[in-house]
Amino acid sequence: MRLRTQEKTGRFSNSACYLSLFLLGVYLSVYQSVIGDVAADYKLSAGLTGLMISFHFLGSFLLPVLLGETGDHIGTRPVIILSFLMMISGLALVMVSRVPYVFLLATLLIGGGFAVIEGMLSGLLAVANPGRVNAVLNLSQMYFCLGAVGGPFVALGMRKTTLGWRGNYLMLLLLFTAGLIWLTRQHLPPYKTAKIKGLYLKKLLQDRGFVVPLVALFLDVGVEEGAAFGVTGKIAQTVTTALPAAFFLSAYWLGMAIGRWLFSFLRGRFNTFLITGLVFAGVFISLFLLTSQAGWSLAWLFLTGFGFAPAWPVLMMHATVRGEQSTNTAMGAMMALGAAGCMALPLLVGQLTDLFGMERAMLLLIVLVVALVSLLLAGGRTAGSVQTTQDS
């Protein structure tokens, strides 16, 4: 009876987490799709647009560590509710913003709530499904990517309404409010943290097996989001097509979604697939930058997303294993470093675009993929802990 209750709770909580991750994916790709409209509305240069993108990730950098540590001390539920309220408040603020400074403040709140929700729900999935961590993390990110696939089409449809790009934020405000109401009715699976003196984060940072995936996520998420944010600009400048840029962005996310669904069936050799996928992603980014044909651009973007697919789940799986006695703090630290990468890369790509043009600026992404693969190969001795845990 006891085992049956645990399994039922796991499945029940999984559904709530998957829905929340789906909504986060919709938001992120909507933001990626409308950022050009927002910049045009506020008359921003490419460099200032990059700064605006980075503000979302500034919020995602500042809050996850603080609230993750708090969650390990007071419990997961109140922190998740707070993070949803932050996101809802930010979305409401966007609706009333008429100057870029208010939009930046709103984006800061949204980014903080976004990262805490994603990190803590990922940790919750790992705790609720200790024998299926790879599967549930890949599936949760598959739902995230499916939301991201639909987001550009939502943005395209909303553009034709009287609300313009702000209509997306009204829709998201309603969806996240409904998601919060549903999530507060769930019975979250409990877990016990190890009681220590001082901060959980300090203990984690003394573990090289945690630091390697932490730094790797900084590079990986920065490159993934740098590629996604750069797609629309590159398509507009170099590809002659009647297709909206939203189609190309959706191809990228669709490749990632399908990849994560396939990788959810893996039971071993996680790091081999991680590194192989990253190598192929770097090759496909290069091919995307070299082509000016719409068909090939769609194909290379789809394959780029597919190549990146195993990276985030495998790196987060490393973190859940190394930080199993302080999961919220571990997930918060990972989300913060991922956000730092997202904050730095769009800003840097935006500045390089002003100086050298979009195509040359995006060459930076290939350089960083090489750096990421090198880091993972150099720190490969930490891989055994994850594979052993998952296979046992």
Alpha helices in 164-293 (DSSP H): 166-183, 200-205, 208-238, 245-263, 270-290
Asked whether 197 and 288 are in contact (CB, 8 A), the reply is no
Site of tokens 């999935």: 125
Question: Burial letters for 215-242: b for 16+ Cβ neighbours within 10 Å, e otherwise?
Answer: bbbbbbbbbbbbbbbbbbbbbeebbebe
CA–CA separation, 143 and 306 (whole Å): 14
pLDDT attached to residue 109: 94
Q: Which stretch of DSSP H or E encloses residue 319? A: helix 311-322
**Residues comprising the chain, all counted:** 392
Each residue's pLDDT tens digit in the chain (392 positions)? 333 333 344 445 688 889 999 999 999 888 878 888 888 888 877 777 777 777 888 888 889 988 888 888 788 889 999 999 999 999 999 988 888 889 889 999 999 999 999 999 988 888 888 888 889 999 999 999 899 888 888 887 887 777 788 888 999 999 999 989 888 887 777 666 667 666 888 888 888 888 999 999 999 988 887 787 777 677 777 777 767 777 888 889 899 999 999 988 887 788 888 999 999 999 999 898 888 888 898 999 999 999 999 998 999 888 888 877 788 888 889 999 988 888 787 778 777 877 887 778 788 888 999 999 999 888 765 444 444 344 33
Q: What are the distances in angstroms from CA 391 to CA 7, 33, 269?
A: 20, 40, 10
Count H helices, E strands: the chain? Answer: 16, 0
Question: Burial letters for 256-275: b for 16+ Cβ neighbours within 10 Å, e otherwise?
Answer: bbbbbbebbebeeebbebbb
Domain 13-185+203-391 matching CATH 1.20.1250.20: the answer reads: yes
Backbone angle region of 266, left / alpha / beta, with phi > 0 → left and psi within -120 to 50 → alpha = beta
Provide the residue ranges of all domains of the chain, joining segments of one domain with +: 13-185+203-391
What pTM was estimated for this model as a whole? 0.79
Within 10 angstroms of residue 77's Cβ, the number of other Cβ atoms is 17
pLDDT attached to residue 241: 75
